[in-house]
Structure 1
């Protein structure tokens, strides 16, 4: 990385890149305690906060909220992984979860499933321990879970021990950004913990930093530090819903919006790293929050309308029958097999078979072959709704 890539105020944080005498690396400047020129973005943050409040209100009164949010979490895993170039689809992820086998599925499906596992780990820790659980050991554990399949190739759940860079793989001199050498990482991450992860208003500060401003700063600072050999983007995106949950908000999932604006997302983070320019990131993030809140509310309402339609179709079956109980679960498990139906409803194999066959007859499920699995069933209407982009016709 060359000096002329950075503004003058960033150049004081340049150090020699480890193992590359002709290259310089940027040690992340101290985490800002306020967004520079914050008054310019007050309206954007207010609009995003209002959207988040509306989402929270909907979720609090939403029937079957656990099923809807389960599916949205898996959608997040797919889109966050796709930002990094994976190809696994939501249907393939759900098929993998139902069968616990990857035969015939996209090679990336395991990578995507690790994101689901890491998100579940983080949410459980935060819900049990509150904001105090949002600490460096948790981040290491998230990374270890995400990168489980890379064990042995480079450190997982531990800071990288080599110099890395962002840009073409051949020459560090051609990099768009070179983060700090390994010896600086512990201090940088401890500073991020103390200033943002464990945020408290300091005496003498002007005003309290809003949760969404904390979100913006935390993600940008983590990506600037770039503490791991690989998986920094996914780990950093995990921190956003976890920080929201730690502050009493719903776990909003932003990766769909960021995937649709992937180059702008990369450019916005680079603007902070190289020039200390926060405007592009604030504009992108607040727009993504509004879009993601509106999308989550629309999906939730559409799925519940779909469930009401299904329940009318099966109204003629016994009220205590599996065929009456299974449709609600399909909102969270839209790809299912007999074994999963047995587990969810605690019923016998013949009863699960009968329920699924009846739902096929009613047009709620259809049998599909996914990978090497020919006894899978999908709720096509759910998957089509989840795959629909915001603003696309129904």
Structure 2
């Protein structure tokens, strides 16, 4: 880490690292700022556009009486992307298949991604109910425990604050690092600063927007880097929780971050090394706008697809097959047993519905003849699973 890359206020926060790294220094981050952050005209425009985008998503969620929109799939896509950023690679198809079959032979990566999605889904209602009081050191350690417990290679106890030196960049040699986070002895105190900020214990709730607090809170948490690994995943989990705690419809930003990783890293670097919070706020605003647009495009495409599906054959009004069409965007990979449970029908009725949907080309019949067979709505999955920013492709009929 080059001292010349740090502004004077950050250089004053340097502390010598413990042996065998005592030739180097780590940064104990200053407490997050509570004052209003001046923004350049371009970032002000991005900030305003992001609030407009959130308002559009909120309006649709209110109309649907669903604060999470098609949350089951979006949380899982978030989990796949956030884990991929950290090098844990699974696929949405693999994750959805694992959740349906609970296959013990599934990869460790798929299990970790499943755990990420599950903890996010479980905590969003709590965030809405508890608001900023949700945030605590216990919450953060429990998030880490949830996302890292499936990683057999992780060397610390999941959820335990690190007692070792870590660095960002430089591979295995700290001499070439880009940034050295908090020395181990100061991690607990620095994390308390992050938590106090997330709880809005100071003036920030009155002086800063939600978007600014998301950017600042995330950058500060990543500067603390309280765990040996998994900090990025935990930090990105906090973002939709902050939105839900504010009463907004949560958006899942990891796919945007994955698609704009260089800009994301640059925004963190600006905040952590130069205290340039405006650049981080600009990135967060663009991430929110881009993600909201992606959600709305996905929802529109799935609505159009549902209409195309209904036109493929005559379905009896109120039939299980017709009702299943509304379920498939949430469960594009499912078993007959899952469909029976979702529709509250018998297994035989669900089986007939699946047969009709297969006949209409809406579900794909699996090759395997295993009892717990999976059926896939491939056209829906291709819309949901498309690369970020690409236009959804709909079938002609």
TM-score normalised to structure 1 length: 0.91
Equivalent residues, number: 388
Q: CA RMSD in A?
A: 2.4
- SS at 2:23's partner residue? strand
Q: Over residues 149-208 of structure 1, what are the superposed CA-to-partner deviations in whole Å (9 max), with x where a residue is unaligned?
A: 2477303223112111112342222211111112212211222222x2111563xx8962
Q: Aligned partners of 1:391 and 1:378: how far apart in 2?
A: 22
Q: Over residues 78-130 of structure 1, what are the superposed CA-to-partner deviations in whole Å (9 max), with x where a residue is unaligned?
A: 11111112321111111111111153x55421111111112023213213322
Q: Aligned partners of 1:369 and 1:227: how far apart in 2?
A: 46
Q: Aligned partners of 2:82 and 2:13: how far apart in 1?
A: 30
- SS at 1:375's partner residue? coil
* Structure 1 unmatched ranges of 5 or more: none
Kindly indicate whether residue 309 of structure 2 is the aligned counterpart of residue 307 of structure 1.
no
Aligned to 1:386: 384
- SS at 1:366's partner residue? coil
Q: Aligned partners of 2:22 and 2:244: how far apart in 1?
A: 44
- More divergent stretch after superposition (322-331 vs 227-236): 322-331
- More divergent stretch after superposition (233-242 vs 272-281): 272-281
Q: Aligned partners of 2:167 and 2:355: how far apart in 1?
A: 54
* Structure 2 unmatched ranges of 5 or more: none
8 Å CA contact 2:216–2:281 kept in 1: the answer is: no
8 Å CA contact 2:334–2:374 kept in 1: the answer is: yes
Judging changes above 3 Å, is the alpha-carbon distance between structure 1 residues 51 and 72 closer, same or farther for their aligned structure 2 residues? Answer: same
Aligned to 1:211: 210
Report deviation, 1:390: 1.9
Q: Aligned partners of 2:97 and 2:45: how far apart in 1?
A: 43
8 Å CA contact 1:7–1:275 kept in 2: the answer is: yes
Aligned to 1:28: 29
8 Å CA contact 2:7–2:274 kept in 1: the answer is: yes
Aligned to 2:244: 245
8 Å CA contact 2:194–2:220 kept in 1: the answer is: yes
Kindly indicate whether residue 328 of structure 2 is the aligned counterpart of residue 326 of structure 1.
no
- SS at 1:15's partner residue? strand
Report deviation, 1:258: 0.8
8 Å CA contact 2:116–2:147 kept in 1: the answer is: yes
TM-score normalised to structure 2 length: 0.90
Judging changes above 3 Å, is the alpha-carbon distance between structure 1 residues 102 and 300 closer, same or farther for their aligned structure 2 residues? Answer: farther
Aligned to 1:176: 178
Q: Aligned partners of 1:17 and 1:264: how far apart in 2?
A: 29
